[in-house]
Structure 1
Amino acid sequence: MFTYKHFKPILMNSHIVKVLQAVYITHDVKRFRVEKPIGFDFVPGQATEVSINLPLWTNQLRPFTFTCLRQQDYLEFMIKIYRDHEGVTNMLGKTNAGAELILHDVFGAIQYKGPGVFIAGGAGITPFISIFRDLYHKNQIEGNSLIYSNKTSEDVIMQDELQKMLKDRFIKLFTRENVLGFRGKRIDRSFLIDNISDFGQHFYVCGPTEFVKSITKDLMDLGAALDVIVIEM
């Protein structure tokens, strides 16, 4: 049973916001659009810690990336829901419009530094979505490409919009199925050699920890300098 002793006050630099929309956009990724506090801002690629404004959940903070444009009048997150344990995302899977979330500090290492190759694994695409949307809105997306790896075609987040923005500079790979027109393989050293001609450009890498570590090592082995690789794990 919840009692007052379980409650901790919400931090002063936090914002309670109402959920405006909550819909599944893949079988396990849910898009949340929430109120935008006055003066709230972020750099495309950044994230905030989010908690649910319910007893026992207010201090369960998890990091999620903004996927909207800065100038929009709402904030948006695309969150992978893990139903196999009673954690925050499982609870968010049950959270719908009208509920309240708590936003905390803005942070994040992924920020756009210039044209290059974006390499994402699974939900690691989320910081790139805001960056691509921002560049596309400014008509500055030219010169950027995306290599996006998922287990299956059903796991791809925002496929149609990414295709529209990047056109033939959008490469999809699937590790657990072979789909006509796509590539059923992993991103490894051989793949990077076959698909990248310039290792002096910027590289942006985001995904599971081992995914990021492996690709970063391969990029550096192939001549990419550490200062041109932007990573988030």
Structure 2
Amino acid sequence: MNQSSSQDSNSPESGTADWQDYGKYRGRVLHREKLANNVSRYIVEKPEGFTFQPGQAVELAIDEEGWREDKRPFTMTSLPSNPRLEFIIKSYKTEENPQHDGMTEHLGRDVEVGDRVIFGDAWGTITYRGPGIFIAGGAGLTPFIAIFRSLEQQEQIEGNRLFFSNKTKNDVFLQGDLFRMLGRSAVCTLTQETHPDYESGRIDREWLEHRVDDFSQNFYVCGPPAMVEDIQEILKSLGADPEALVFEGKE
């Protein structure tokens, strides 16, 4: 899930799961490691009875005094069949991103192996509907990871492409996994620096026109809200079917 979305922690509109049940499950952090600039992988106990589909998320909070009510949406990046849950989470500094109220900063800085998190039932509208182009901005990649892993497991990943946008090369994560699964169909672009191993530029109309021949296929889009909105409008103006655009919040 793209955790860059700002949400009121008291809003019953967050996600599609029952807001009162967000603390239904608890799990201990079994492992954590840094993947990129402010991005970490967390392996968490999988509670009995918890199920999800690739691409879905949960409302998650830190099981600690003062933090249990501060929940945010995060996507499971592991496969549903895995005995453990994996989350890949980007931390945001409060002084630069006050809308996050310090939750992801505290998670990235202070939560260690043995600490617990609490979360509710899985929800989300980003599910696989057939081959297409996946467009991700930063942490917006996370809903696509389990989808790609599931497709690879089923030997059905062929025919899909990924456009992955980040500010700098130090922000890119899971590049090896993406190239292993998708090969040259995975394209990473940088918006704030140039590097010989990456493409450059924002994913805008011109960028897409140079790389996409068929706009009648499925498009999966996830990232900062402004980026998602802009890309949706660009795709529709280039002939994409609105019904073939998959993004969080779409009914």
TM-score (normalised: structure 2)? 0.86
Cα distance in 2, alignment partners of residues 194 and 217 from structure 1: 17
- In the alignment, structure 1 residue 60 sits paired with structure 2 residue 75: no
SS at match of 1:220: helix
Cα distance in 2, alignment partners of residues 165 and 70 from structure 1: 18
Which amino acid is 1:206 matched to? Answer: C
Structure-2 residue corresponding to 1:208:
224
**CA deviation string 1:84-119 (max 9, x = no partner):** 446111111110110000011211111000000000
> Whose radius of gyration is greater, 1 or 2?
1
User: In structure 2, which of residues 24, 31, 39 is the aligned counterpart of residue 21 of structure 1?
Assistant: 31
User: In structure 2, which of residues 46, 55, 67 is the aligned counterpart of residue 45 of structure 1?
Assistant: 55
C-alpha displacement at 1:75, in angstroms? 0.6
Kindly tell me: are residues 12 and 31 of structure 1, through their superposed partners in 2, closer, same or farther at Cα, counting changes over 3 Å? Answer: closer
Structure-2 residue corresponding to 1:79:
89
C-alpha displacement at 1:55, in angstroms? 0.8
Contact 1:50 1:64 in 2 (8 A): yes
- In the alignment, structure 1 residue 135 sits paired with structure 2 residue 151: yes
User: In structure 1, which of residues 106, 112, 137 is the aligned counterpart of residue 128 of structure 2?
Assistant: 112
Sequence identity of aligned pairs in percent?
44
Which amino acid is 2:233 matched to? Answer: K
Which is further off, 142-151 or 187-196?
187-196
1:1-20 alignment runs, 5 A limit: 11=21, 14-20=24-30
C-alpha displacement at 1:39, in angstroms? 2.0
Cα distance in 2, alignment partners of residues 201 and 50 from structure 1: 33
Cα distance in 2, alignment partners of residues 206 and 89 from structure 1: 19
Structure-1 residue corresponding to 2:247:
231
How many residues are aligned here?
224
Kindly tell me: are residues 164 and 59 of structure 1, through their superposed partners in 2, closer, same or farther at Cα, counting changes over 3 Å? Answer: same
Contact 1:173 1:186 in 2 (8 A): yes
SS at match of 1:195: coil
Structure-2 residue corresponding to 1:152:
168
Contact 2:22 2:59 in 1 (8 A): no
Q: Name the structure, 1 or 2, with higher relative contact order (CA <8 Å, separation 6+).
A: 2
- In the alignment, structure 1 residue 186 sits paired with structure 2 residue 202: yes
Contact 1:47 1:65 in 2 (8 A): yes
Cα distance in 1, alignment partners of residues 22 and 214 from structure 2: 47
TM-score (normalised: structure 1)? 0.93
Kindly tell me: are residues 100 and 13 of structure 1, through their superposed partners in 2, closer, same or farther at Cα, counting changes over 3 Å? Answer: closer
Contact 2:22 2:119 in 1 (8 A): no
Cα distance in 1, alignment partners of residues 173 and 126 from structure 2: 18
**CA deviation string 1:42-84 (max 9, x = no partner):** 1100000100111111111100000001110001100001134
Contact 1:15 1:104 in 2 (8 A): yes
Q: Which segments of structure 1 move beyond 4 Å, counting only runs of 4 or more?
A: 10-13
Cα distance in 2, alignment partners of residues 173 and 80 from structure 1: 18
Name structure 2 gaps, 5 residues minimum.
1-19, 96-100
